[in-house]
C-alpha cells in the first residue's frame, strides 16, 4: 500500500510537470493559427512549424503514458539486447526538424564498436526522445555567445556503456539534478541550470530509464555537460 501511494504521488507530480511543459508547443500552435485568422492570409501560417511542435507534444504525451504505466504498476520493462548506437542515430534523426526550428545544431558521436546493451528498445527510444526535446529547448534558451549545439554520444566506461545528451549548460551539477528530482511537479522551474520551464521531458525520461534498471545522472563529454544513463553490455549474442 505504501509503495502504491508513493507511486501515485510521483505520477501526479509527473503529470503536473508534463501539463506545464505542453503549454510551450500548444502556445506555438495557437499563435500560428491566430496569425492566419488575424491577417486573413492562411499562407502566412507555417505548417511545418505546427507539425514539428505537434510531433514534440505527442511524443511527450506518449512517453509520459509509458512512464505513468510503469510507475503505477511498479513494473520493470523486459530487457533485451539493444544497440545504443542505432537508437541514438534514430533519436538524432527524429529530433532533427525540432532542433532546426530552435536553431540548435545536433551532433552524433558514436566512435568505435559498441556491443548491444540490456535495455528495452521502445523504452530507450522514448527516453532519449523525451530527453532530446527537453534539452533542445533548454539549449536554445541558454544565454551564451557559443553556437547552440547538442551532442548525442555514447562511450565505454569501466561501469558500462553510457548514452547521453550534452550541451553548454553552465552550473549543471549532480546536486542540482538530485534536488530537481524532488521538486518536479511542485516547482515551476525545478532545474534552472538547464531549463526555464518545467523540464518535464527530463523526468519522463528518468522514469522510463528506471524501469530498465538505469537512471539519468549528470555527465560530461568533451567539455560539455548534460544528462546520461549507464547500461550493461548484453551477455547474449551480439549484433553482427
Segment 58-100, tens digit of pLDDT: 777 887 777 777 766 566 788 999 999 999 999 999 999 889 9
Domains of the chain by start residue, with CATH:
1-240 (3.30.565.10)
Segment 9-63, tens digit of pLDDT: 466 666 666 666 666 677 777 666 666 656 665 555 576 777 777 777 777 788 7
Segment 119-172, tens digit of pLDDT: 999 999 999 998 998 899 888 887 767 788 999 999 999 999 999 999 988 778
Q: Strands, DSSP E only, in the chain?
A: 80-82, 105-109, 117-119, 149-157, 160-167, 217-221, 224-231
Total-model pTM: 0.80
Q: Which of residues 169 and 236 earns the better pLDDT score?
A: 169
User: For strand 160-167 and strand 117-119, is the pairing parallel, antiparallel, or unpaired?
Assistant: unpaired
Are 205 and 62 contacting, i.e. CB atoms less than 8 angstroms apart? no
Amino acid at each position: 500500500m505504501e509503495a502504491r501511494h508513493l507511486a501515485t504521488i510521483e505520477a501526479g507530480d509527473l503529470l503536473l510537470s508534463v501539463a506545464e511543459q505542453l503549454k510551450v508547443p500548444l502556445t506555438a500552435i495557437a499563435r500560428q493559427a491566430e496569425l492566419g485568422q488575424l491577417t486573413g492570409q492562411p499562407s502566412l501560417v507555417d505548417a511545418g512549424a505546427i507539425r514539428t511542435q505537434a510531433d514534440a507534444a505527442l511524443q511527450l504525451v506518449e512517453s509520459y503514458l509509458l512512464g505513468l504505466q510503469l510507475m503505477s504498476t511498479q513494473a520493470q520493462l523486459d530487457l533485451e539486447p539493444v544497440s545504443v548506437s542505432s537508437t541514438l542515430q534514430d533519436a538524432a534523426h527524429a529530433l532533427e526538424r525540432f532542433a532546426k526550428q530552435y536553431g540548435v545544431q545536433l551532433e552524433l558521436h558514436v566512435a568505435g564498436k559498441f556491443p548491444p546493451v540490456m535495455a528495452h528498445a521502445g523504452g530507450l527510444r522514448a527516453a532519449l526522445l523525451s530527453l532530446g526535446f527537453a534539452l533542445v529547448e533548454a539549449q536554445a534558451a541558454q544565454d551564451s555567445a557559443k553556437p547552440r549545439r547538442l551532442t548525442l554520444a555514447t562511450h565505454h566506461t569501466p561501469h558500462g556503456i553510457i548514452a547521453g545528451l550534452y550541451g553548454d549548460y553552465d552550473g549543471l551539477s549532480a546536486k542540482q539534478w538530485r534536488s530537481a528530482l524532488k521538486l518536479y511537479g511542485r516547482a515551476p522551474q525545478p532545474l534552472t541550470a538547464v531549463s526555464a520551464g518545467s523540464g518535464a521531458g527530463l523526468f519522463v525520461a528518468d522514469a522510463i530509464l528506471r524501469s530498465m534498471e538505469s537512471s539519468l545522472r549528470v555527465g560530461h563529454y568533451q567539455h560539455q555537460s548534460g544528462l546520461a544513463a549507464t547500461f550493461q553490455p548484453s551477455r547474449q549474442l551480439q549484433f553482427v
